[in-house]
Amino acid sequence: MTLKNKKIILGITGGIAAYKCAELVRRLKERGADVRVVMTNGAKQFITPLTMQAVSGNPIGDSLLDPSAEAAMGHIELAKWADLVLIAPATVNVIAAINAGLANDLLTTLCLATSAPIAIAPAMNQQMYRASVTQQNLASLELRDIRIWGPGSGEQACGDVGLGRMLEPMQLVELVEQHFVPPQPKFKILITAGPTREAIDPVRYISNHSSGKMGYALAKAAHKLGGQVTLISGPVSLATPDNVERIDVVSAQQMHQAALSKAPEVDIFIGCAAVADYRPATISDQKIKKNDDDMVITMIKNPDILADISTSASARRPFCVGFAAETQDVEIYARGKLQRKKLDLIAANNVAIAGQGFNSDQNALTLYWENGQLDLPLADKEQLATTLMLEILNHFHKKS
């Protein structure tokens, strides 16, 4: 019962491989899954709703405008119910529709309304599969974390031979089982993100404009690439990425303590947080009242998290990556930080440029190491994070 209590929506579209879906449902149910079937109008030309209802043991969804179901917003309830949406067979038409964000039937609407993972099993003529627009649609779906299972190769119903066959039911069952088994991490990684807040009194603090978006995007990308991720976060208004351990801190000293505690357990450390360099020497127990025109606050230096981890004498020193947010002479300051703190890599950006860096959804970076550099052009932070993580892993594996 490898799929016991797993709730799976099987979306069937109009391809000849639809005839295999009765077997697919039966095999999923054998392993304990609860399967709800959604059929397009095209699918019903190849296999009947009565057949799918009999093998699944559940009513079939085939209309977005079914008054009995939609009286209680049935499509939303179904979208929330699922642990996985599997579309098999997935025709070239439904692939294009999902990529375009269309919601012109029950199945495509569910794909937009669900927060569950989506997997598609392409099934089409080999020439349609090879068409550049189909490949572009599939690549776009992969970037949006939609799993592409298949296709297989072989003789097709039209007589052609090549890629485009839907995977066999048992192959799809095995992929569903693998989906629900957490993969073993390939590496352990620690990331700091967001700003720190250095208290002046109970109501005031010193901080910076960091939103934490880049660090959180790196955490998400690291998990996607097989990492066991720990994220130490300053105060931000961001949701924790799935499957990421998050440790919340406020001040630089708290972040320093948490990072040094975790660093010996990991393979890679990325200091992405915008840590305050200084903090007030004393923190008032009570709110400071406005008495004079001027107020003097004595500041003392905060501990350097990156340097302390990178220069540690511990046998478990991780591969260390820093960030440098600069407003001028970016390369000079970044390379100076790289050498001074004995880092393996540093990612630098010019936060003086509008539309990138702090509080922006986009960023551009230049990655520096001892004998080289690489420009990572302006992109969405999540896309940039994936590119950066791939480069970090490349350098990490070369060094190890």
pLDDT (mean) for 42-50: 96
pLDDT (mean) for 157-166: 81
- The pLDDT value recorded for residue 356 is 66
Whether 379 is in a domain gets the answer yes
The domain total for the chain is: 2
Same domain, residue pair 374 and 244: yes
Whether 208 is in a domain gets the answer yes
Mean pLDDT of the chain: 91
Last residue of a domain, one of 125, 156, 179: 179
Packed helices 49-56 and 21-30: angle between N→C axes, nearest 10 degrees:
10
- Determine whether 272 is an active site residue: no
Same domain, residue pair 175 and 257: no
pLDDT > 90? residue 281? yes
Same domain, residue pair 156 and 17: yes
- The pLDDT value recorded for residue 362 is 84
pLDDT (mean) for 150-159: 80
pLDDT tens for each residue of 299-351: 999 999 999 999 987 778 999 999 998 888 889 999 999 999 999 999 998 87
pLDDT > 90? residue 188? yes
pLDDT (mean) for 61-89: 79
Distance CA 86, CA 150 (A): 12
Whether 2 is in a domain gets the answer no
Distance CA 216, CA 222 (A): 10
pLDDT > 50? residue 89? yes
CATH number at 81 reads 3.40.50.1950
Same domain, residue pair 253 and 389: yes
The helix/strand/coil state of 341 is: coil
Residues 330/366, Cβ–Cβ less than 8 Å: yes
CATH number at 234 reads 3.40.50.10300
Same domain, residue pair 219 and 257: yes
Of 36-40, 157-161, 293-297, least confident by mean pLDDT is: 157-161
Whether 334 is in a domain gets the answer yes
Same domain, residue pair 171 and 191: no
Distance CA 77, CA 116 (A): 12
List 21, 111, 158, 320, catalytic entry: 158
Last residue of a domain, one of 116, 151, 179: 179
Structure tokens at 215: 């660090």
**Domain range enclosing 395:** 187-399
Same domain, residue pair 97 and 206: no
- The pLDDT value recorded for residue 71 is 47
- The pLDDT value recorded for residue 93 is 96
Whether 15 is in a domain gets the answer yes
